[in-house]
Amino acid sequence: MDVLVTGATGYIGRAIVARLREAGHTVVGLVRPGDPEEELATGGARVLRGDLGDAALLQQAAGRAGGVIHTALEYGPEMAR
């Protein structure tokens, strides 16, 4: 199954991506601009650069996925939104 994981480079996101890959799933990991992506790509996941504020990007990526796991968190003034 194709799975979109937000927050894929975070503590929880990395663990979920690893387990999904071990189970044979294809993973697309949402990564904020500026966050390191090497570990994610090395683990066999595809990298999608973007952020939680880009509704069009998220809708498009989620529409292509068989499942979505949301582990991202927006810090700062936009967090409540």
Looking at residue 81, its pLDDT comes to 60
Q: Provide the domain count of the chain.
A: 1
Full DSSP string of 21-67: HHTT-EEEEEE-TTS--HHHHHTTPEEEE--TT-HHHHHHHHHH-SE
Looking at residue 57, its pLDDT comes to 96
In a domain, 13, yes or no: yes
Looking at residue 34, its pLDDT comes to 80
The model's pLDDT over 20-72, given as tens digits with 9 standing for 90+, comes to 999 999 999 998 888 777 777 777 889 999 988 899 999 999 999 999 999 99
In a domain, 72, yes or no: no
Looking at residue 41, its pLDDT comes to 74
In a domain, 70, yes or no: no
Q: Is the pLDDT of residue 11 over 70?
A: yes
Looking at residue 2, its pLDDT comes to 95
In a domain, 11, yes or no: yes
Residue range of the domain that includes 19:
7-47
